[in-house]
Structure 1
Amino acid sequence: MNKVVVPSNRIRNRVLSLGAAVLSMLPGGRRSSTPRNILVLRLGNLGDMIVAMPAFRALRRRFPDARITLLTSPTRRGMPGAVELLENDPLFDEIIVYYIDESSRMRFLHGLSRRIAGGGIDLAVAVPNHLTRFSHLAKYELLLAWSGVRRFAGFQMVEPADYELRQVDRLLKLLSPLGINRAAIPFPWLTPAQEDENSAERLLASTEGRVRIAMHCGAKRPANRWAPESFIEVGRCLIAEDNACIVLTGSPDEREMTARIAAELGEHVINLAGQTPIGILEAVLRRCAVALSNDTGVMHVAYAMGTPTVAIFSARFHPNIWYPYGDRQIVLRKRIECELCDKDICPMYGYPKCLELISPDEVLQAVRSFLRP
């Protein structure tokens, strides 16, 4: 087995802390013991945003009267992120979106600086993930200070001990200097619009009388994709023996795969791939008895809606960090000699052998543990 070697960022974090301390002493700018205008920095797609929801809500509870702005990027254009996820949630007063391809342009940075200065930001809170680079955090410390911000929180890179924490807990820990504790945030974390609830009811109308089991068989990274044939085997057993209706979810790009799975499963399956914008997806998953998913953004949506979740994880990355949160979740992951490769495509076998080690019988047993408690 690969030995887990996590580099220390202790020196980089000291530099970031010292930088924040020095920048806070610059003349001018805005200082307030009770912040009135807060800027939160968080990058990423669905999963990245969902694991940050407890931190977002804790910050709102701590400063209920502040105007809070989220500065975010869903990385690539066209990818869903905070705007789609929080469309019906008054958590933030404003969301500023940018894209990776423009983040290094001086014109963009100058415009962002003017916008921050005009917004009277007096507290900047970084909520970084495990991939956030030192250069990114340092750049924004300087940009924010140039824009008049004099108080900073959360500008820290991951340390080895952080790999023992789930993302939710680590992000809440970053906010502890602001007097925020790690109090549990009850599910659901997301709020579909009533229109989305109505759409979900219409889409699922034909499933009445059967136990709805959501299956998300795709994933952005090939190394995270359990074999479609294995999903089919599990689905067949659930339909035949557990009175299940399989609800297939997926992106428009995954329609061909889900159509093949639906054809193999036959009756008592509904294929919703490409038909569920984020709000409708939330409402659909809330109406399912269990969600079975690869390690992908939809898995995070499922548990965030309070749906019991069975998550299938490859061994490409560290365990625990991205696992679903809560006490109604089961994670299936196998150790292997090449684990922690952090590759999108398996470099040794050409296919995710670590996922092949997870049998349909194991997955079926996990799903049934929620159906037959």
Structure 2
Amino acid sequence: MKEILIVNLTRMGDLLQTTPLMAGLKEQYRDARITLLVSSRFAEICSGIPLIDDLIVFDMHGFRDRLMQKEHDLVGNYLFLKRLISRLNEKEYDLAINVTHSSVSALIISLVHAREIRGFTIDSEGHRVIRHPWLKYFFNVVPNRDYNPFHLVDMYLKAGDVMPERKGLIYEVRDEDRVNAEEILLKEGIRNEDSLVGIHLGASKSDKTWPVSSFVEVADMISREYHARVILFGSSTEADLGEKFTSAANCKPVNLIGKTSLGELAALLKQCSVLISNDTGPLHLATAVGTTVVDIFTANVHFLETSPYGEGHYVIQSDLPCVPCGFDVQCNNMKCKDAITPQIVCDTVKTVLNNKAGISANKFLMPEHVQIYRTYFRENGMLGFYPIKRKEITREILYRILYRAVWDMDIHMSSNECEAACNGICDELSSCCLLSRAWSIVCSLKEDAKALARLNELAGQGLGIIDRICEEAGRDAIEINLLKELSDRLESVDRELELAGHAYPCFRPLLVVFVFSREALEGSGLSALANSSKKIYEELFFRSLKFLQVMKKIITFMESKSENEQEPRPETIHETACRGCDR
């Protein structure tokens, strides 16, 4: 029997987004038993997750409060944590995975008896360590999110080295919750044949909420055209949003905000034809019970990271240059919300309802600065996003496509395999983007390729130096002066690599993962540390080399598209300058 511990002390949506990882582990290890460590605030959701064999609840926020309160001394806090560790260590784990970003979770998992630990932890000397390549990548996403192509769920799956046959999030509605939901609907005069449209008005932060007035317009249009019943969902803290909606709407919504348990909410969401929502936990619950979601993204939320994980959902986000904004930005003019009009959301909802009724999809009148994507699963099992309207290629879009291919590559793949990957990228660019203005970014891509070639050269220099250090470390009599000279040279290379990451943000993800890997070095003795370091430089060297090979192919492809333009294009000062550099 394989004992597996998963530490997820985050919110409800993140817990639901861990269910595919659990499913994949259960498929791969048929006798696996999964223990989940969860925050007490969100433990209720776990009653509908059938993949959990043992649930351990931790008062995470209570522990944080204890640390800040003077009446709780160090000994008392230690005993509080010790009780949790003792409970966890009633068994020994074959594998422990921490998908939480906090230092508390790192401390907890470092004290667990496990043969293998993945994720954020602490080594024997108290230093931060991130174990497993994909969890190093996971921690790289926030500072480099413009270039991240992967959904949170897929990063979890990669961290577990699994890809389940069953796709999507998992939540099972209990019979008692289903019965209660039916009684709630009956009391509200809703019949079995009524079409139900759910709306969630709130979010964890107010800047992530689309205006209530816009939701009202959508609800009135849908209610009028489809005679649908509108149900409002949310927590008791969002009651004021429901009151604003009810007082402004012409349709008569069923306001269930703060009036259901989590299980009843799941059962009610399952009855809806569609849920219209901001980015919030109930959105993922709707996805898990099989309800189609229309997800509205604003502020600092990025659709690629936390959109509804499943087939056939729709995500709407402004593509203004400032979207998504930084996590620490306080915006006083949220144009990203204004850009998403009630009409475009209504058209998206109508598409969902028409598809369910077997009616041909309506055409979208796409406003400027808005994009809609339909979710689907790629051939490799990971989530993809198909744009409803193709738009001109940009550097950001191109780099996300490139990174998706490069991160998922075997760094030692053959030339034929690399060629096939490049052809796949070209096909995707042709089907998802307009390339009539590809010339506008080719010049900057050539400059980027030169920088990447230099980065690869530096990685090669570092690899050569560390190879010499490995040789020296394996000798019986080590030449200290030579070792110091090699270390100084390696430090110089590392400084140049760091500067390259600052000068070319498009390659920073490669270097952030490289830095995380160096920080995670473990081992006793010079020889062991040197050989571990060698693997890190090899990874950077071969990964950047594959990236460069792919990039050159794509530049050639983009140039061919530019040559096939129907109309002559204007020449810019920037292009003239670049051509001068090419000479």
Settle same-fold status: TM greater than 0.5: yes
Which ranges in structure 1 are unaligned for 5 or more consecutive residues?
Answer: 1-33
CA contact (8 A) 1:50 1:304 kept: yes
- State the partner residue of 1:306: 290
Q: Which moved more, 1:304-313 or 1:259-268?
A: 259-268
1:95 aligns with 2:55: yes
CA RMSD of superposed structures (Å): 2.3
Give the aligned length.
320
1:288 aligns with 2:302: no
User: What SS does the aligned partner of 2:306 have?
Assistant: coil
Which ranges in structure 2 are unaligned for 5 or more consecutive residues?
Answer: 68-76, 120-130, 356-583
1:63 aligns with 2:29: yes
CA contact (8 A) 1:207 1:268 kept: no
1:126 aligns with 2:92: no
Kindly state the Cα deviation for residue 128 of structure 1 after the two structures are TM-superposed.
1.3
1:255 aligns with 2:216: no
Kindly state the Cα deviation for residue 259 of structure 1 after the two structures are TM-superposed.
2.5
Q: Distance in 1 between matches of 2:164 and 2:196?
A: 32
CA contact (8 A) 1:223 1:343 kept: no
1:143 aligns with 2:105: no
Q: Which moved more, 1:292-301 or 1:187-196?
A: 187-196
CA contact (8 A) 1:52 1:127 kept: no
Kindly state the Cα deviation for residue 267 of structure 1 after the two structures are TM-superposed.
4.4
Normalising by the residue count of structure 1, what TM-score does the alignment of the two structures yield? 0.79
Alignment of 1:223-302 (within 5 A): 223-302=207-286
- State the partner residue of 1:363: 345
1:166 aligns with 2:151: yes
1:353 aligns with 2:335: yes
Kindly state the Cα deviation for residue 268 of structure 1 after the two structures are TM-superposed.
4.1
User: What SS does the aligned partner of 1:371 have?
Assistant: helix
Kindly state the Cα deviation for residue 183 of structure 1 after the two structures are TM-superposed.
2.8
- State the partner residue of 2:80: 108
1:216 aligns with 2:181: no
Query: Can you list the C-alpha shifts for 1:292-339, whole angstroms capped at 9, x where unaligned?
Result: 001111111111111111000014134400011112211111133433
Alignment of 1:11-90 (within 5 A): 35=2, 37-73=3-39, 79=41, 81=42, 83-90=43-50
Q: Distance in 2 between matches of 1:123 and 1:42?
A: 17
User: What SS does the aligned partner of 2:314 have?
Assistant: strand
- Bigger radius of gyration: 2
Identical residues among aligned pairs (%)? 29
**Do the aligned partners of residues 243 and 284 (structure 1) sit closer, same or farther apart at CA in structure 2, a change above 3 Å counting?**
same
Kindly state the Cα deviation for residue 108 of structure 1 after the two structures are TM-superposed.
2.6
Q: Distance in 1 between matches of 2:35 and 2:323?
A: 39
Q: Distance in 2 between matches of 1:65 and 1:321?
A: 31
**Do the aligned partners of residues 89 and 254 (structure 1) sit closer, same or farther apart at CA in structure 2, a change above 3 Å counting?**
same
Q: Distance in 2 between matches of 1:168 and 1:328?
A: 16
Q: Which moved more, 1:316-325 or 1:104-113?
A: 104-113
CA contact (8 A) 2:196 2:228 kept: yes
Q: Distance in 1 between matches of 2:165 and 2:307?
A: 16
Q: Distance in 2 between matches of 1:312 and 1:211?
A: 21
Kindly state the Cα deviation for residue 263 of structure 1 after the two structures are TM-superposed.
3.1
Query: Can you list the C-alpha shifts for 1:198-255, whole angstroms capped at 9, x where unaligned?
Result: 1111122222243110000111111111000000001111111111110111111112
- State the partner residue of 1:26: none
Q: Distance in 1 between matches of 2:98 and 2:273?
A: 32
Higher relative contact order (CA 8 A, sep 6+): 1
- State the partner residue of 1:7: none
**Do the aligned partners of residues 141 and 217 (structure 1) sit closer, same or farther apart at CA in structure 2, a change above 3 Å counting?**
closer
CA contact (8 A) 2:274 2:292 kept: yes
**Do the aligned partners of residues 64 and 123 (structure 1) sit closer, same or farther apart at CA in structure 2, a change above 3 Å counting?**
same
Q: Distance in 2 between matches of 1:213 and 1:339?
A: 28
CA contact (8 A) 1:127 1:174 kept: no
